[in-house]
């Protein structure tokens, strides 16, 4: 986290907890890592009845936030003394997007859990929730956030679209992992996500996909 002055992190909000979590990983401080993992997980409405591992979710968070740090550092001359404030705003925006995404399906989970459920039914709900939140998640908001930062960098450093795509591929792992990206499912039905991955792939397309290259072409604002 070079060039970012993070000494005065005294708050216990989600942004600070995340920065401390990343610092704990980088410093190999297992004790603090566990503490801040819990704070991050508590931010989400993960039903307490679920015995779900959050490693995948936390890995996504770590990857995205460290990418934001790198890109803000890349454009340090533009942000000048506002680098930490910019980073905090971007982290908050990121978590707000995730929360909104989760909240589209949480009411359905809560409604089902109001009824008596046996262990099999609970497992099915957990699988559906996990598929929606993790496996079939749309990364369009995350990619857009990264490209928004790179658009600013491009305009203040005379960079071309080709330059931005090169930087994006170098700094961001999304491109290497996803040739196609799910568009956001604004009205998800939890029943559609009840399948075992990757053995039984659902026949119904959960949400439309877009080629990663086409998405970048839409989002990048320079030629």
**22-47 pLDDT per residue, tens:** 999 999 999 999 999 888 888 876 65
Instruction: Flag whether 23 is in a domain.
Output: no
Instruction: Flag whether 3 is in a domain.
Output: no
56-81 mean pLDDT: 91
Q: Give the model's confidence band at 78: pLDDT under 50 very low, under 70 low, under 90 confident, else very high.
A: very high
How many structural domains compose the chain?
1
How large a percentage of the chain has pLDDT more than 90?
A: 49
Distance of CA 13 to the CA centre of its chain: 17
Instruction: Flag whether 163 is in a domain.
Output: yes
Q: What is the pLDDT of residues 128-160, one digit of tens each?
A: 888 888 888 899 999 999 999 999 999 999 999
- Indicate if the pLDDT at residue 170 is higher than 50: yes
Question: What is the torsional sign of CA 43, 17, 169, 161?
Answer: positive
- Print the domain residue range for 104: 44-219
195-220 mean pLDDT: 79
- Using a 10 angstrom Cβ sphere, with 0-12 exposed, 13-18 middle and 19 or more buried, the burial of residue 184 is middle
Whole-angstrom Cα distance, residue 160 to residue 182?
26
Instruction: Flag whether 104 is in a domain.
Output: yes
Q: Residue 209 forms beta bridges with which residues?
A: 182
Token reading at 220: 């990048």
pLDDT at 3: 42
Asked whether the beta carbons of 113 and 47 are under 8 A apart, the reply is yes
Instruction: Flag whether 18 is in a domain.
Output: no
Instruction: Flag whether 51 is in a domain.
Output: yes
Instruction: Flag whether 1 is in a domain.
Output: no
Q: How many residues does the chain have?
A: 223
How large a percentage of the chain has pLDDT more than 70?
A: 85
Instruction: Flag whether 151 is in a domain.
Output: yes
| Total H helices, total E strands in the chain | 11, 2
User: Quick check: bond before 198 cis, omega within 30?
Assistant: yes
């Amino acid at each position: 986290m070079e060039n970012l002055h993070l000494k005065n992190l005294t708050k216990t909000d989600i942004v600070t907890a995340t920065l401390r979590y990343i610092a704990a990983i980088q410093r190999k401080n297992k004790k603090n890592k566990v503490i801040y993992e819990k704070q991050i997980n508590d931010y989400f409405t993960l039903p307490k009845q679920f015995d779900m591992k959050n490693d995948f979710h936390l890995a996504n968070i770590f990857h995205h936030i460290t990418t934001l740090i790198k890109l803000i550092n890349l454009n340090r001359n533009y942000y000048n003394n506002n680098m930490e404030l910019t980073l905090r705003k971007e982290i908050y925006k990121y978590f707000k997007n995730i929360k909104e995404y989760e909240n589209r399906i949480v009411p359905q989970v809560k409604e089902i859990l109001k009824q008596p459920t046996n262990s099999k039914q609970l497992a099915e709900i957990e699988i559906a929730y996990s598929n929606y939140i993790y496996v079939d998640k749309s990364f369009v908001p995350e990619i857009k956030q990264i490209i928004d930062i790179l658009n600013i960098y491009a305009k203040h450093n005379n960079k071309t679209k080709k330059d931005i795509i090169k930087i994006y591929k170098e700094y961001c792992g999304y491109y290497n992992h996803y040739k196609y990206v799910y568009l956001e499912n604004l009205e998800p039905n939890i029943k559609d996500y009840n399948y075992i991955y990757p053995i039984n792939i659902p026949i119904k397309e959960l949400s439309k996909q877009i080629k990663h290259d086409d998405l970048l072409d839409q989002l990048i604002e320079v030629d």
